Structure 1
Amino acid sequence: MKTLLRIFLLTLVSVNIYAQDLDSLVFTKAKSDKKSVAKKTKVYTYQFTDSSLFKANQYISFVEVGNHKKAPVFFIGYDKKELITTSDFAKKYNATVAINGTFFDIKNGGSVDFIKVNDTIINQNRQEKNNIRALHHKAAVVINDYKLGIKKWDGSDTWENNLSDKNIMLSGPLLRLNNEDEKLDSVPFNKLRHPRTAIGIKPDGSVLLLTVDGRQQNSAGMSLFELTKIMKWLGCTSAINLDGGGSTALWVSGYGENGIVNHPSDNKKWDHEGERKVANVIFIKGKP
C-alpha cells in the first residue's frame, strides 16, 4: 500500500512539473507583436488562444524601457482627490507611456497606499482592520534620479516614512526580489484569476511595465502565482504587483486609436474603451 502511495505521489509531482515545463515552453516560444515607441523603448503584445497558456486564453502586453541614457525616464503621477483614467493622466503629464498605479479609494478618491513625490508625502497608508499591514503595504516602487527600483518592507511600522527615496509608491504583493520568488499567501486575491498590472526589472536594469487582461473570454487573467512565472520567464529578477482588476490599463502615445494597448475590463467588452478612473499612475517621458 505504501509503495502504491509513493508511486501515486511521484506521478502527481511529475505531472505538475510537466505542466509547468509545458507552459514555460508555450510562453518562451510564442511570437509577439512589437513596436518601437521611443529610444530603447518597445511595446510588446502576446495573444494566447486555444487555452494554450495555463490552460486558458491570455492577452499580455508590456512596455520594456532599456537602461540607456537616451531612454525615457520614470515618474509618479497622482491626484489627491479626483479619479482620472490612465490615458488622461498620461496626456496631463505629456507622457510617452503610462500604466495604472497602486490601490485607491474608489468612492472618495486618493491612494490608500503611501505615496511620496519629490520628497513630499502625498498619502499615508490607510490601515486595515486590527492594524494588520495590508499585502499592498509590504513593497514599494521607488524612483531616484529618474531610475526605478523595487524595495521590500523591513517589518517595521514606520518603514515607508523612514525611506530616503525621493519618490515612493507602496504596492504589492512583491512577486520576485533579487532573482528569488517571494512566498505568496494562499488568499483569494493571490489565487484567483484577475486582470493584473505589474512592474519588473531585469538584471541589466531594463524595466517592464506589464498588463494581463482578464474577465474576458479572450483572456482569463492570472493568479499572482501565474503572474510571477510570467515575470520570471521574461527575465525579471525583481517584480511587484500593482492594482489590477478593472484598473488595469497600459497607454502608449500614438498607439492604436486611443493609445490603450490592452483591453480594460470595466465596460465588460473586448475593446480598448473600458478604462476605470484611478488615483495614480507610473509614467515615462523624456528626461527634463
Structure 2
Amino acid sequence: MTDDQHTSSMPQPPPPRRRRRRRTFLAGGLALTLSLGGATAWALDRYVVEHVEIADVAAYEASQASAPDPGTEGTSSGTSSGAGADGSTSSDGTSVSVRQVVEGSGDDTVTYYVADVVLGDATDLRSAFAQNAFGENITEKTSDIAADNDALLAINGDYYGFRSTGIVIRNGVVYRDEGAREGLAFYRDGTVEVYDETATTAQELVDAGVWNTLSFGPALLDGGEVVDGIEDVEVDTNVGNHSIQGEQPRTAVGVVDQNHLVLVVVDGRSTGYSRGVTMTGLAEIMQGLGATTAYNLDGGGSSTMYYDGELVNDPLGRGAERGTSDILYVGE
C-alpha cells in the first residue's frame, strides 16, 4: 500500500465561516473514528480473537463412539535419510518418502516437495487441530501441531478456523455441518472423492464411512484430467484474506490409487528460488505425479510440509511458518 502525501497553501476564510467549517469537520471526524473503531473491533473479533468451541479435542474424540483410540491407529517410523532429502520410512504397512523437485531456472524456478504416502490402513491418515482445540481463529505452526501429535509427516490443512462454513469431519468425528462448497472426503475403506457439501450432511457422510473431510478447493483433477475453470474459482476473498489466483505457494493432496496418496507443497514468492504456480500449474504437477483426483488446500504463507522432526520447505522464502488451524498427518 502506498501513502501519498501533499501540502497545499490556501487563503484563510473569514472567522465565522472558518468556525462553522471546523465544527463540521470535527463532527465528521468523530463519526469516522467511531465507524472505524466499530469496524476494527468487528474485524479483530472475526479474524483474530480466538473462539473456542471445544477446548480438548483429544478428550472429545475419545468420547465419541466413532473415533478410534488415537494411540492404536498410528504408524511407527524406521530409519530415514532425513527431512527434505530422498528417503523413505516404512513400518506396519505404511510407507512415506519425501523428495524435493526443482524445475526451471532463474526467475522461472519452481521448487516443490512431494510426499509419497502408501497407507497400511486409510485411518493412518489423521487430522489434528491447533492447540488441541476446535473453533475459529485458533492457530499454531504446522510443525508445532505435528510435534504435539507425534507426526512423522504433516502438511497444513484447510484452515477451517478462518471461516464458519463447511463440513468438518476429522478422525471420524463431526465438528461442523455447514455445507457451502466443494469438499474432499476420505473414507475408511481408502476411497477418496470430491463431493458437493450442500447436497449432504456431516452425519450422512460419517454413516457412509467418511473418516476425514477437507473444505477448501477447488478440485484440480477429475479422472486424471485438469478440471476446467479452476483459475476462476474464488475461495475466501472476504476481508482479511487474499485471492488464490496467480502464481502462489500451494498445498495439494492427490490420489494415485486406493490408500496411495501424494501430498505436495509448492514454495513461492521467492525470486530465484521458487516463484510459485498457478492453479493450473498445480494441477499439472499433480497429474505428472500420477494422481487421478487432486484437491487444493490452503496456500500462501500456510503452505508447509513437516517430515521426520523438521520443516521441509521454506514458506515464503523466510524460513519461518505462519500459524494455521489444522494439519493432515501420518503418525510415527
Q: Same fold (TM over 0.5)?
A: yes
Instruction: Count the aligned residue pairs.
Output: 228
Task: Say which SS state the counterpart of residue 175 (structure 1) adopts.
Answer: strand
Q: Distance in 2 between matches of 1:235 and 1:83?
A: 33
Displacement, 1:248? 0.5
Post-superposition CA distance 1:178-205 (Å, at most 9, x none): 3232222443745411100000111364
Kept after mapping to 1: 8 A contact 2:101/2:111: yes
Post-superposition CA distance 1:206-259 (Å, at most 9, x none): 2111100011111111111110011001111111100011100000014xxxx1
Task: Give runs of aligned pairs for residues 1-288 of structure 1, distance below 5 A.
Answer: 33-39=85-91, 40-51=95-106, 56-68=108-120, 73-78=124-129, 79-81=133-135, 82-106=138-162, 112-125=165-178, 133=180, 137-144=181-188, 147=190, 149-153=192-196, 156=199, 158-163=200-205, 164=208, 165-187=210-232, 189=243, 191-203=245-257, 205-217=259-271, 218-254=273-309, 259-265=310-316, 269=318, 271=319, 274-285=320-331
Q: Distance in 1 between matches of 2:283 and 2:87?
A: 25
Displacement, 1:76? 1.2
Displacement, 1:169? 2.4
User: Cα–Cα, structure 1 residues 42 and 161, in superposed 2: closer, same or farther, change >3 Å?
Assistant: same
**Quick one: which amino acid aligns to residue 194 of structure 1?**
Q
Displacement, 1:93? 1.0
Structure 2 unaligned spans of 5+: 1-83, 235-242
**Structure 1 stretch 72-81 or stretch 239-248: which is displaced more?**
72-81
Displacement, 1:153? 1.6
**Quick one: which amino acid aligns to residue 225 of structure 2?**
E
**Quick one: which amino acid aligns to residue 236 of structure 1?**
A
Q: Distance in 1 between matches of 2:202 and 2:160?
A: 17
Structure 1 unaligned spans of 5+: 1-31, 128-132
Kept after mapping to 2: 8 A contact 1:111/1:279: no
Displacement, 1:103? 2.9
Percent of aligned positions with the same letter in both sequences? 24
Kept after mapping to 2: 8 A contact 1:33/1:46: no
Q: Distance in 2 between matches of 1:49 and 1:179?
A: 24
- Cα RMSD of the aligned pairs, angstroms, is 2.8
Task: Say which SS state the counterpart of residue 65 (structure 1) adopts.
Answer: strand
TM-score, normalised relative to structure 2: 0.61
Q: Distance in 2 between matches of 1:200 and 1:142?
A: 11
**Structure 1 stretch 197-206 or stretch 229-238: which is displaced more?**
197-206
User: Cα–Cα, structure 1 residues 204 and 279, in superposed 2: closer, same or farther, change >3 Å?
Assistant: closer
User: Cα–Cα, structure 1 residues 47 and 180, in superposed 2: closer, same or farther, change >3 Å?
Assistant: closer
Task: Say which SS state the counterpart of residue 171 (structure 1) adopts.
Answer: coil
